Structure 1
Amino acid sequence: LARYGRRKAFYTGSNSSCHQHIRSHYELYKVRCAEKGLSEHHHTLLRTLLKAKQEAKK
């Protein structure tokens, strides 16, 4: 904080860059959810996976 100031302490990127960053960690998230017996939240699913799951339900 002292080196970069307050703005560096908070995420200041755009929404799309945030989504790109989260997508890069999806596999880790998926594994950790499986280890703990948790279901994945639909907001964390990649769009292609979400569409595939919705199509499979039909």
Structure 2
Amino acid sequence: MNDAPVLQVSDLRIVFRTRGTTIHAVNGVSFELNPGELLGVVGESGSGKSVTMMSLMKLLP
């Protein structure tokens, strides 16, 4: 059986630039998801949960 992670994220950083303003939405997120594992992402409002997952699905411009 292959023990390689099905998803590996290392030092993910997401920055939005608009009208001369820079917003660091996600800064340094890292995790691995191995076969058979589940991942739950929890955090406060505005902590970057949705932006992180949208980035992994390539839904951000």
Q: Say whether the fold is shared (TM-score over 0.5).
A: no
Higher relative contact order (CA 8 A, sep 6+): 2
From the two aligned structures, give the one with the greater helix fraction: 1
**What's the TM-score once normalised by structure 2's chain length?**
0.25
**What's the TM-score once normalised by structure 1's chain length?**
0.25
Mark the structure with the bigger radius of gyration. Answer: 1
From the two aligned structures, give the one with the greater strand fraction: 2
